[in-house]
Amino acid sequence: MFKTLLLVIAVTAGGLALYPEWRAAHQAPPQLTIRYKAGSPATAAVAQPWLEVVNTSDKTVRLSNVAIRYYFTGDGTSSYAFNCVKAAVGCSNIAGETVASAHPTTTADRYLQISFTTGAGSLAPGAKSGAIGLQLYRPDGRKLDQSDDRSFNAADTTFQASRTVTAYLRGAHVWGDEPTGPAGSTGPTGSSGHAAASARGSSVPRPKPAHPRGIVFDDFHYSGPHDPALHAHGWLVRTSPGGPGIHDTWSAAGVSFPAEKTAAGGQVLQLRASTDGTRAGTKQAEVQSSGTHFLTGTYAARIYFNDKPTSGRNGDHVNESFYTISPNNSRYSELDNEYMPNGGWGAPGPKLDTTSWYSADSGDRVTHKLVSSLQGWHTMMITAVDGVATYSVDGHKLFSSDGRYFPRQNMSINFNTWFVDLPFTGPRSWDMRVNWFYYKADKAESLADVQKAVNGLYDSGTHYVDTVPEH
């Protein structure tokens, strides 16, 4: 003991500080580790980073307290968007945003920030989140060059720990090397302590509550009609034969997801019907839900209707529609919103037909006609609760049906643009756009209720959620 005391005194008297060296040699293990693998080549239409969170601490970690940043370099001035294709914790429990870095570098002037709701659960010590499949893309459809992206590594074809992807726990930087320094290093202002361990550039998102049970929301952040996330989130692009309109002309060519400055979230589903006036030269567009777990509740969609063609001569009897329909005729159910700017079936336009069906075979239905232009953005709603189906536009009630015309069977959701007929020749095209879709099961909500819910989802960085149980 006497010799040890002399050593401590001697070291102190000599002015040699051993603690920094000791700390460097005895680093505590990280609280989290992020594993990564590349799902796409350096040049691709869509970047596909796969991530996994590993709890390397000795305490349980709530995923809602975790945020991840994947760094990349923007190609020009284009905007970027992301979606979740597959996640063991559920894509409904994942939120995110693309952010311009406050401290850009040549390999990282932006990052994709991912966070989780409380519905994602917790990780016990040593546990893994499971694979999280993400997609990063440009809404303008141009390819990405990932060769100069900080977090991209084409060699990582299986999961590997990646220090170029950073992680934050309750706002503290706990894994990976930020473009301006490693975890725990001095911050950009030269400070140390808590500021040194916090995320640089912008705030890390706060924990988000789990989404309420019984909702579906989608703002159509997809890279194209063949995006695997589109199908994973319960949507189908119709290419099957049949009607309505010009039979056997349904095509994926008319389905796209362009950037749109007037839309919340900056991106839309676009449905384009085009023709040269012949059946062979006609393409109609439809996106429908692959599941039929929709029945009673509130259906809402923000839709841009067009009174004029995007190109070519006006005058077509075109139908821009948002409707629900059952898969078979045994207990047939259908609720329609059909906007026809030039009318159709002998009736002039512009008009909106809202129709509740009992039987398609016999034509048994009740309908209401609103004769008015709906050019521009509108929130279309149908509530189907307590035996009454009510249609409204921007909160204004149009029509109610009940009795035999109330839905009796689960239905799918459908958006489409199609031609009633082909009255003349010559090339032309018509576009309908959908900003978002929202559904609340078993409850009639007002426009204010719907808008509040949708705004909350946007504010949380949520692009897609489905908490409606399958029937």
pLDDT in tens, the chain (471 residues): 444 444 444 444 444 555 555 455 545 668 999 999 999 999 999 999 999 999 999 999 999 999 999 999 998 778 899 999 999 999 999 999 999 999 999 999 999 999 999 999 999 999 999 999 999 999 999 999 999 999 999 999 999 999 999 999 999 999 999 998 555 443 333 322 333 334 444 567 777 889 999 999 999 999 999 999 999 999 999 999 999 999 999 999 999 999 999 999 999 999 999 999 999 999 999 999 998 889 999 999 999 999 999 999 999 999 999 999 998 888 999 999 999 999 999 999 999 999 999 999 999 999 999 999 999 999 999 999 999 999 999 999 999 999 999 999 999 999 999 999 999 999 999 999 999 999 999 999 999 999 999 999 999 999 999 999 876
Q: Identify whether 350 is preceded by a cis peptide bond (ω within 30 of 0).
A: yes
Distance (Å, whole) CA 283 – CA 280: 8
Query: Cα–Cα–Cα angle for 382, 320, 438, nearest 5°?
Result: 35
H/E run at residue 4: helix 2-13
Q: What are 198's two structure tokens? A: 């916090």
**Confidence at residue 330, expressed as pLDDT on a 0 to 100 scale:** 85
Residue 272, C-beta contacts closer than 8 angstroms, at least 6 positions apart = 253, 254, 255, 256, 283, 285, 310, 417, 429, 430, 431
Mean pLDDT, the chain, integer = 90
Q: Is the pTM of this model over 0.85?
A: yes
Distance (Å, whole) CA 355 – CA 391: 9
Distance (Å, whole) CA 442 – CA 439: 10
Q: What are 177's two structure tokens? A: 């090397």
**Confidence at residue 188, expressed as pLDDT on a 0 to 100 scale:** 31
For 364-381, the pLDDT digits (tens) are 999 999 999 999 999 999
Amino acid at 416: N
Q: How many residues does the structure list for the chain?
A: 471
Distance (Å, whole) CA 110 – CA 80: 10
Q: What are 39's two structure tokens? A: 């799902």
